[in-house]
Structure 1
Amino acid sequence: MTQPKVLISDKMDPTAAAIFRDRGIHVDEITGKTPDELKAIIGDYDGLAIRSSTKVTKEILDAAANLKVVGRAGIGVDNVDIPSATARGVVVMNTPFGNSITTAEHAIALMFALARQLPEADASTQAGKWEKNRFMGVEVTGKTLGLIGAGNIGSIVASRALGLRMKVVAYDPFLTPERAIELGIEKVELDELLRRADFITLHTPLTDQTRNILSRENLAKAKPGVRIVNCARGGLIDESALKDGLESGHIGGAALDVFETEPAKDSPLFGTPNFISTPHLGASTNEAQVNVAIQVAEQMSDYLLLGGVTNAINMPSLSAEEAPRLKPYMALAEKLGSLVGQLSHGNIAGLSIETEGAAAELNMKPITGAVLAGFMRVHSDTVNMVNAPFLAKERGLDVREVRHDREGDYHTLLRVTAETKTGPRTVAGTLFGNSAPRLVELFGIKVEADLVGDMLYVVNEDAPGFIGRLGTALGEAGINIGTFHLGRVEAGGEAVLLLSVDEPVNSDVIAKVEALPGVKLVRALKF
């Protein structure tokens, strides 16, 4: 296998480069490049490791002919064009856990800074004023903390707050009642959180649903004197409304580590009373930088070398341990999808992907992605497991996944059914020796065949002498037959032939075979 190449384009802990090299991956550390300079070199690389400085735009991706994976050392992927990466079949990974504790601790630190007015008190004291009576703080003990987002970082903040003897309420549409009980917090709706919280911290990604979640209207609903901390993403708070709330006194204080526009060098919030700001320091500890560097290098290495997918934004996870076991199934899935795609003529409205036996115990998402990749490759030579589900959805293809507990004729079986205008058409395959993909059913006809290289698919009337006539026609055309697979429903009925041939079959040969007596359909296939 050719040695994969990775580019580290942002400053990153040297541990990342060391891991790539130890795993046998060529790595270049070239930072500070302009977009045009990056475009000029990115075509040579299989992987791109970034932090927040590099902007992975559509233009960069278009120039990245060999790129397979982008790894973000950190949580936010706002600087990566996810739709364009997906369309090009590039996996985008982040490291959501490497800086979780660091970010949570920063939120707690800012909460304390607000509660005791620490920055103002420090500035006043160092100016020689000694204004002891000016800085009257509040205790956090017994106060109510409102979490907007109770995922990984939010749950860590909750545990720290509970240790400080705070009460914790959380608004998170994905938080289950069981998980809330496990965390020791109360799940509430946003309006109730705003009404009850003495402190609010935000721990949610920036999406269309969360943008300006603390809008002017919602800030007006907040408890008078509330103190707000945001170490998540800029854009979650209406900054103009926040400034007005601070100036009016309705909001008792605010601490932002993130801003709608960064770097924030001239924010209107600067100089506002009871406002604290830090320059996106949530992940800025030595421990966090080492952790995310290690994680992004290990994740990218697992993908490039083993096919393992961890913390991907645009593809189901597939552990490095799962990948070897799933590899033959994915090869089978891709071949079955390709067979359906090559014989469908574009009239398929939906695909049903079924597993039974040993296959039913596996992670189905990669198998489905492989089926769709094989199927869609008829329409695009750049399709792969990453962008195939995206392309299928874009084209309105209905995809269903079905697992069967039943025992069948084979210890493991994968079945793909295409919904066509003339009814369902099914192909099925198994693994011989748990490794070799084999077709065992073709449109209702039992057949055993390897799907390899150039092949010829023939539907004909089952009659004496046909195989001889077919062999003669191919021989006269100089086509050598490698393997020959025959199946039929019943004697004298319809039969199918799958032949592997040593070279592609051109249209002239197809026409000669179609002219043979009893032939109903002929298609050249390639796997």
Structure 2
Amino acid sequence: MSKPKVLISDKMDPNAAKIFEERGCDVDVITGETPEELKARIADYDGLAIRSSTKVTAEIIDAATNLKVIGRAGIGVDNVDIPYASSKGVVVMNTPFGNSITTAEHAIALMMALARQIPEANDQTQAGKWPKSAFMGVEVTGKTLGLIGAGNIGSIVASRALGLRMKVVAYDPFLTEDRAIELGVEKADLDTLLSKADFISLHTPLTDQTRNILSRERMEAAKPGVRIVNCARGGLVDEAALKDLLESGQVAGAALDVFETEPPAPDHPLFGTKNFICTPHLGASTTEAQVNVALQVAEQMADYLVNGGVTNALNMPSLSAEEAPKLRPYMALAENLGSLVSQLAHGNLTQISIEREGAAADLQGKPITAAVLAGFMRRYSDSVNMVNAPYMAKDRGLDVREVRHDREGVYHTLLRVTVATSQGDRSVAGTLFGNEAPRLVEIFGVGIEAELAGHMLYIVNEDAPGFIGRIGTLLGENGINIGTFHLGRREAGGEAVLLLSVDQPIPPEVERKACELEGVKVVKALSF
């Protein structure tokens, strides 16, 4: 089996390449290429490791016919078309923790620089002046810091601010009361934060909901004399409005490490504005952070390509390298069950339920659900996997339900997949033998034990003597060799199910002839 190939297309710590090699990947480091050069090269690679320079557009992804994972050494993934990557089944990872401390410290540094007007005082002092009386700063002790975003970086900023004896008010839709208490901050809505904060620090991604979250109206409604720090993403602050409010004094000072357009134009309106300071996107620029994110992205990508572990993925459930071997047989079972119910159920299917019982109930459910959907969505597309299947299901309006049962039934572990059809619910179930071998154990209410693999034929018939002989004869006459027979029935003389594996695909004419056999109700050729 050939090794996965990885391309590092942006400059990063050389130890990243060593990690890829040590963990079983072939790696090329080729930086500074144009989009056209990258487009011509990328088809050879399973993984693409980037920083901020490489722009992974839809065109690049289309050319990357073998690509399985994109790894961003850092937090921001504005340079990756994540929806398109997801639609193509490509995992997108980042390293959200590698530069968290560095970015938080930069925010605190800018806040202190604003409070004491350090940049301007430095410039005038070095110009030969001694403007001691011109600079009257403010203490941060006892002041209120308003955090917009209390995730990884925001929570670190909160801890540093509390160490400076500040009060911290946080606005974050995902912040729970318990987490706020744990952080030692006051949870508040945005209007309350604006009314209380002496300093505001932003730590949220740029989305449609957060763009210009500090708009002109909101900054005008803020506490007079507020000081604003943004080390998160450009576009969170209305830059034109910020200039006006700095000049009016409503905003006493502002420090930006990020801009809506980077690099900003030399004649950017904020440049030269009094009480405005800026840095060139230095939030993650420390030696420690650059090393950390490079090593982390290499470890994450190698784990995925070699072991199937998924860490810090933005478009699929995370799955550690330790969890992956344990979950792998479950995901194989889940994918086959999803495929089986998809092939057998007819009509417009709008709801699917995935139930975990026994030992399966204690496992992480998201990867299992993604595997079921990967099998199920093949009724619509051949190019589907665990990454894009949930997105495809959502696009089609499929109602996906996950159910976890604490009970343990006949089997020590069980997965059940049910779809709602116009004829009622249709359900299939499976288990693992020896915690490794996936087996079907129930199909549409009929108990049947079978391995789902290769080419198979599903038949529902009246339970009567001679039927097995008739179907065997039919297949034999058409040169189709039977591998295994699996039988089940509701009751003697009632409805029976036959599931058999064959060595080659069932031709349509053989499927039609099987339908014509006495007592046959349903015939369906299957493929796994």
TM-score (norm 2): 0.99
Superposed counterparts of 1:307-318, under 5 Å: 307-318=308-319
3-state SS in 1 of match to 2:355: strand
1:93 aligns with 2:93: yes
Structure 1: distance between partners of 2:339 and 2:179 = 43
Structure 1: distance between partners of 2:52 and 2:87 = 22
Moved more, 40-49 or 278-287: 40-49
Shift of 1:345: 3.3
Report the equivalent of 1:32.
32
Paired letter, 1:442: I
Which stretches in structure 1 are left out of the alignment for 5+ residues? Answer: none
Paired letter, 1:132: K
Structure 2: distance between partners of 1:149 and 1:452 = 48
Report the equivalent of 2:244.
244
3-state SS in 1 of match to 2:427: strand
Structure 2: distance between partners of 1:464 and 1:144 = 84
Report the equivalent of 1:417.
418
Structure 1: distance between partners of 2:472 and 2:361 = 40
Structure 2: distance between partners of 1:442 and 1:149 = 48
Report the equivalent of 2:14.
14
Structure 2: distance between partners of 1:487 and 1:250 = 78
Report the equivalent of 1:186.
186
Shift of 1:346: 4.2
TM-score (norm 1): 0.99
Structure 1: distance between partners of 2:254 and 2:348 = 58
Structure 1: distance between partners of 2:89 and 2:448 = 34
3-state SS in 2 of match to 1:340: helix
Paired letter, 1:516: L
Report the equivalent of 1:227.
227
Question: What per-residue deviation string (whole Å, max 9, x for no partner) do you get for residues 16-44 of structure 1?
Answer: 11100111101111111111111111111
Structure 1: distance between partners of 2:361 and 2:181 = 33
Report the equivalent of 2:307.
306
Which stretches in structure 2 are left out of the alignment for 5+ residues? Answer: none
Paired letter, 2:288: E
Report the equivalent of 1:137.
137
Report the equivalent of 1:512.
513
Question: What per-residue deviation string (whole Å, max 9, x for no partner) do you get for residues 288-342 of structure 1?
Answer: 0000011101111111111111111111111111111000000000111110111
Tell whether the 8 Å contact from 2:254 to 2:276 is kept in structure 1 after alignment: yes
3-state SS in 2 of match to 1:182: helix
Report the equivalent of 2:68.
68
Structure 1: distance between partners of 2:168 and 2:418 = 50
Question: What per-residue deviation string (whole Å, max 9, x for no partner) do you get for residues 358-406 of structure 1?
Answer: 0111001100000110111132111000110100110011111111111
Tell whether the 8 Å contact from 2:346 to 2:421 is kept in structure 1 after alignment: no
Shift of 1:154: 0.8
3-state SS in 2 of match to 1:348: coil
Tell whether the 8 Å contact from 2:360 to 2:413 is kept in structure 1 after alignment: yes
Paired letter, 1:332: L
Paired letter, 1:172: D
Report the equivalent of 2:343.
342
Paired letter, 1:421: S
Moved more, 71-80 or 261-270: 261-270
Report the equivalent of 1:174.
174
Question: What per-residue deviation string (whole Å, max 9, x for no partner) do you get for residues 215-236 of structure 1?
Answer: 0000101111111110000000
Report the equivalent of 2:474.
473
Shift of 1:190: 1.2
Paired letter, 1:380: S
3-state SS in 2 of match to 1:207: coil
1:269 aligns with 2:270: yes
Structure 1: distance between partners of 2:319 and 2:468 = 45
3-state SS in 2 of match to 1:331: helix
Structure 2: distance between partners of 1:324 and 1:188 = 43
Shift of 1:347: 2.8
Shift of 1:344: 2.0
Shift of 1:76: 0.7
3-state SS in 2 of match to 1:181: helix
Report the equivalent of 1:47.
47
Question: What per-residue deviation string (whole Å, max 9, x for no partner) do you get for residues 158-178 of structure 1?
Answer: 111111111111111211111
Shift of 1:58: 0.9
Report the equivalent of 2:324.
323
Structure 2: distance between partners of 1:190 and 1:352 = 38
